[in-house]
Structure 1
Amino acid sequence: MRASPRRSELVLLVFLAVVFAVSATVVIGSVVHIQRAGLTVEGIEDGAVVTAEAVPGISVTAEDPGVLDRVEVLVDDAVIATRREWDRLTLAGFEPQEGDHTLLARVRNATPLLLDAKVEHAFTITRCD
């Protein structure tokens, strides 16, 4: 004959079910947020080596242009001013030094625990010879 589950086993099963449900909600919510933002960096490829003259051609776009009002752009962990030009953001007055840099464009998720939508590109500025 089979023994009935003990109370502690039932509590553990309920706890695990709740943890799974919350985790699934966080993951699904994060994926939906990231997909809706659809951020793209244009004018520079990840890993590119360019001169400083290429920087004005860098822009950030989003599938939903309304998202651009919430985009934050950082280069080497410092917030960079942007200018909205219709359906894109351009870097305003950014003059990079020679060397390696990382550009990060992100939209913070308004819901706690959910991931930010972001796109990141590493690039190198070299002198024009």
Structure 2
Amino acid sequence: MYTETTRGITVTVQPIFLEDQSSPAEGHFVWAYRVHIENNSRETVQLMRRHWKIADALGRVQEVEGAGVVGEQPILEPGGSFEYTSGTPLSTASGIMMGTYRMETDDGEAFDVGIPAFSLDSPHEAHRPN
């Protein structure tokens, strides 16, 4: 698992290679990733936006931005948490993801929370560069 904390907001990510949804012979590899966001700060925050950078083993980078996560913009009170699972395909047997969540406080202050860089590794990679 990979963890990063920004302003008391802790993001933990666990990537999972999905063999049953992947087709290595066709250059199609799929991962799920489980994200746990915990608010250890003293203020209520709302997750407004996400920004991901996804790089494959050849260094090709795809950026993904959008409102909230999995169709939600969760509100996290102090001590609260939110968990979701999503996924990503790659055309290579390994890669790496990282990003940020844009949070907003009750008084309208916006700030970015780091999502830790995490490795997308599969058993089809001869060596694990990440």
Q: Where is the strand percentage greater, Structure 1 or Structure 2?
A: 2
TM-score range, shorter chain: 0.3 to 0.5
TM-score by length of 1: 0.44
Q: Where is the helix percentage greater, Structure 1 or Structure 2?
A: 1
Rg larger in structure: 1
TM-score by length of 2: 0.44
